[in-house]
Structure 1
Amino acid sequence: MIKLEDVSVLYNKKVLAVDNISLNIDKGEFVGIIGLSGSGKSSLLKTVNLLVKPSNGRIYVEGTNIGLLKDKKLRNIRRKIGFIFQDYNLVDRSSVLENVLVGRLGYKSSLKSFFGLFDDEDYKVAVNALEQVGLKEKVFSRADELSGGQKQRVAIAKTLCQKPKIILADEPVSSLDVSSAQTVMDYFKKINEKSQITIMINLHDVSLAKKYCSRIIALKHGKIFFDKKVGDIDDDQLQELYQ
């Protein structure tokens, strides 16, 4: 599903955020990425859909080298890759439904996208997405009336509207309380298991990564420190990672 070959990310021609990383992610995997702040987690995640362009290396999605794509072909690939941000990335003054419908824009012509024109199928997909994250009753609420956990679930619903094959989530629960964080992670797990959507998620909480992910990639100084199934990770490795 995702393949990275010798990928590096260099900022301002001098700061090496990702250092020559190669890895494969299979369809349906739930992969957690952990490490200290500044270890390259966000940069690595954002290279997968070219939100951050690598200074070196190749990125393949379903066998296609996406670094060679332009315009419509690149947009079509990005439509398959949902991205969820730490800060929800919602329009507070708009309704929950209006925020979720943004996920349908990749299926619209430029003119329809500009005017935000949606049809009955779009509304059906949006409401179904909200139902998948337990927020159907909030469809007409304003986004700024929601709790942090509810906002992140709206962000997940917006991503589901893309009908993605891959979801990338960058510290989606780091600003939430323990209960809300677990609720959001529960929905990620359900989506992964029910729809076989491949998930790569950056997490600052190792216990959440071990509870929900099947595989954990640890980064240190921009390099892969370890890449293991959850059951193969020991406390000594984690202690060394966070020293």
Structure 2
Amino acid sequence: MTRMLVTRPEPDAQSSVARLQALDIVALAAPLMERVTLQVSLPPADGFAAVVLTSANAVRTLVDRGDAAAYAHLPVLAVGDRTAREAEAAGFERVSSAAGNADDLVNAIGLSGLKGPLFYPTGKHQSADLAKALAPLGVMVATAKVYDMVAISALPAAVLEGLGAGSINAVLVYSRRTAEIFADLAQSLDRAQRQALAMLCMSEAVAEPLLETHFNRISLADRPDEDAMMALALGFARAQTGP
């Protein structure tokens, strides 16, 4: 039976494991990062036209800090449906989703006619510079780094053994930084082991650090979302064992 490793942080890792198990895929979680709240001062909500969200972790951090309610009356422009759902659950009243990636979000903001200023709570490590991308549109962004995703120091011994022995057939990778961390922590795998391991990636950008470190068995999701990752995982499992 196909066995897969989920590398995304909690609580999302357990959610993905449960979905894989519902597809009759054996799955285990090995989160490669842990979310840490940063103690920074946030600007008052007055004067902002909207809140921009590129991560569900930004919403969770605002909730953990007790700051979500102060901004909940503002419109929210979320990068994708999962982040939008997290915002709604946190009490934000008017939430829309770009249903895509950072480029889709920039396009959605441009079409919205909002000129800002926009409040952008985000992580310490950003995959895209939203303020820079919106500057040509004349949209001002106030960025606040409210959390950090801290890499673990080593893969669990049982996971590393499973990767080397081939008992873990595929790894689900959701972000470029996760890919970079995995490549670093899996340095003990030899070239043959790397080439035998299937890496199921959310996008080309996510896959790049893996290709650079000789993980060549790469598959990409059709869209940058969890449903597409589940479809990718199911397709891989069926290809290994038959329908």
TM-score over 0.5 for the pair: no
TM-score (norm 2): 0.28
TM-score (norm 1): 0.28
Higher relative contact order (CA 8 A, sep 6+): 1
